[in-house]
Amino acid sequence: MPIRELSCSLAMAEALREEMERDETIFILGEDLTAHGGIFGQFRGLPKLFPDRIIDTPISETSIVGAGVGSALTGMRPIIDMHFADFITTAMDEIVNQMAKIRYMSGGQASLPLVLWAPDGGGLNAAAQHSQCLESWLVHVPGLKVVVPFEPADVKGLIKAAIRDPDPVIFFQHKKLFNWTGPVTEDQDVIPLGKAFVRRPGTDVTLITYSRMTYECMEAARELVKKNIQAEVIDLRTLCPLDFDLIAQSIKKTRRAVVVHEACRTGGFGSELSARVSEELFDHLDGPVVRVAAEDVPIPFSPEMEKFVMPQMKDILFAVDTVLQYESRK
């Protein structure tokens, strides 16, 4: 089948068009959707094709999410545009106490097929209120599925899976990746939630990562080759459900693990990964699991300070060196 080079934003727009043509119950609601096709171009062309199903809302995340929850309960499949992931914080009651719990509180009688789409991450000098990675907040809530794609093909395949899922899905998409391009087939397959992907095979250390940090890990892996170190890079793609089987398979081979994410260190998803790897794979490790993450401070506006706070390739290289040196000290 034909393969094109698409950006992440165009891959998203194409997937949404295909899904909305397939299913008339799908609609999108959020702020500033029709004027420019979304602030990142992710809804490009959709307002003209589906004028009654792309709905601009007032600036009230509480109302937007509440409307999405209510419509999903009636059999619709809403896609909620959060504008920025940071704004999730204003709708936490609707997300945590309603969206995540309705199936359980109804004894399985009600489902909630809803996607909450949230652009996250730093690197654009958007300062502390528009640059956060909050995935660990949502992973902590039972009843929610959490998706964190990297490449355009994954964006398209995973958003299709998220839309078709009978339960609520939080779909984080990093703001710096919207212009990232990659091959996408015209009939891109749906990618099941909970399936990680080995971006690069290796034998000496496993780099476990997701979203934009996949790029940094791939760059680090190429640099490590110069030192005759073969790093395996695992792109998780979804955090809940988590493909721990693939992680375990890799660590049993490399015997070393470095977890890399952009969110701050304390309470980040890397803490959960490190704990689980240590608990379940301790006998297969030649050293401790090392985390690479942002500093525990709000993201600065200053470009140089933002770069200082956020994890860089050099931090990954240092972490790999730490893991490798640990074995030599034993």
Q: Is the dihedral of CA 28, 32, 38, 44 positive or negative?
A: positive
Phi/psi for 233 (5° steps) reads -110, 120
Phi then psi for residue 62, to 5 deg, are -60, -45
**Which residue among 130, 140, 174, 284 is the active-site one?**
130
With the C-alpha atoms ordered 285, 287, 291, 296, is the resulting torsion angle positive or negative? positive
Euclidean distance between the first and the last CA atom of the chain, given in angstroms as a whole number: 53
Do residues 316 and 207 make contact, with C-beta atoms less than 8 angstroms apart?
yes
Question: HSE of 270 in the Cβ direction (CA atoms, 13 Å)?
Answer: 23
Beta bridge partners of 208: 234, 259
130 flagged as catalytic: yes
User: Which token pair is 90?
Assistant: 């204003």
29 within 8 A of 80, measured Cβ to Cβ: yes
Q: Are 163 and 19 in contact (CB under 8 A)?
A: yes
Cα 329 from chain centroid (whole Å): 36
Structural Rg of the chain based on CA atoms: 20
Q: Of 76, 82, 98, 81, whose CA–CA distance to 25 is shortest? A: 76
Q: What residues are annotated to the active site? A: 130
